[in-house]
Copies of this chain bind each other. A is one copy, B any other.
Amino acid sequence: MYLAKIYVTYKPSILDPQGEVIKSALKRMDYADIQQVAQGKYFEVKLNAKDVDTASSEVKSFTEALLINQNTETYRFDLSLVEDEVEA
């Protein structure tokens, strides 16, 4: 089984107002040295696939179809082989 770790962030041209809000909250809490905050999304997906290439193209496909909106977001991912057991 493969584990894909997918990191989604806004494209650089898109303003990230949530990052700004977090930044000002941190300033208020006296974390004075914060320069910039960006908030993104992070997914861990476990999937079966016959080989790493298939897994990789599968991840690419569903990430672009569902997990991100290509208008504004971009992503990268790592893929690793993991043990076969899924709990619960």
Contact = CB atoms under 8 A, between A and B. Distances in A.
A38 B33 contact: no
Interface residues of A, number: 38
Contact of A88 (B8, B15, B41): B15
Q: How many copies does the complex hold?
A: 2
A32 to B, nearest CB: 9
Interface in A67-84: 67
Interface of A: 1, 5, 7-9, 12, 15, 22, 25-26, 29, 31, 33-49, 58, 61-62, 65-67, 86-88
Given A8-B42, A15-B88, A38-B44, 6 more contacts: A1-B35, A31-B61, A34-B47, A37-B43, A38-B45, A39-B43
